[in-house]
Amino acid sequence: MTTKTLTRFSPLLLVLLAVLFPFQWLAEHWTSFGTVLSTMIPGERAHTVAHAGLFFTLGLVAVNTFPRLGRRPLWFFLLVLVAAVSQETFQLLYKDALLSFDTVRDMTADLAGGAAALGALWAMQQMGFTCPVKRRIWGD
């Protein structure tokens, strides 16, 4: 892997790592982190917003890394869905639990976060906002 390739893909890999990492496990094994996490995400609503925020970030970084995803929403949502299913699978394996309403709710928030990212990029383009991503995604 060349340095140029690593530089191009490293933001996406870091965000994917953040999405897939079992933060609840870390919170149980590192008390200080657990205190910070429970302060930042105190309830179910905040948990759902955090899911959407992570996948919003993932969507922005994915389209920036692979600009053609902006023109292919089906592929974009398929990749977001794969990331959401992977994340929930890791959580269920860690918790040793079965599929539940919480899992479906979290995956819905994940897809909503991805949709918001694609929508935000589209809205920026419609407003004529100049950014490096715009030209590569939609062209001029």
Q: Give pLDDT, residue 111.
A: 95
Q: Give pLDDT, residue 96.
A: 79
Q: How far is it, in rounded angstroms, from Cα 52 to Cα 26?
A: 20
Residue 88, token pair as written in the block:
């929930």
Q: Give pLDDT, residue 135.
A: 47
Q: Give pLDDT, residue 134.
A: 46
> Between the CA atoms of 73, 78, 79 and 80, what dihedral angle is there, to the nearest 10 degrees?
90
Ramachandran sector of residue 21 (left: φ over 0; alpha: ψ -120 to 50; beta: rest): beta
User: Alpha helix locations (H) across 96-127?
Assistant: 101-126
Ramachandran sector of residue 96 (left: φ over 0; alpha: ψ -120 to 50; beta: rest): left
With contact defined as beta carbons under 8 Å apart, do 116 and 87 qualify? no
Q: How far is it, in rounded angstroms, from Cα 31 to Cα 35?
A: 6
Q: Give pLDDT, residue 132.
A: 55
The ranges assigned to domains in the chain are 3-138
With contact defined as beta carbons under 8 Å apart, do 44 and 111 qualify? no
Q: Give pLDDT, residue 83.
A: 95
Q: Give pLDDT, residue 91.
A: 84
Q: How far is it, in rounded angstroms, from Cα 55 to Cα 58?
A: 5
Q: Give pLDDT, residue 34.
A: 92
Mean pLDDT split into 10-residue runs, the chain, 140 residues:
80 92 89 93 92 95 88 92 92 79 90 95 82 49
pTM: 0.84
Q: Give pLDDT, residue 125.
A: 81
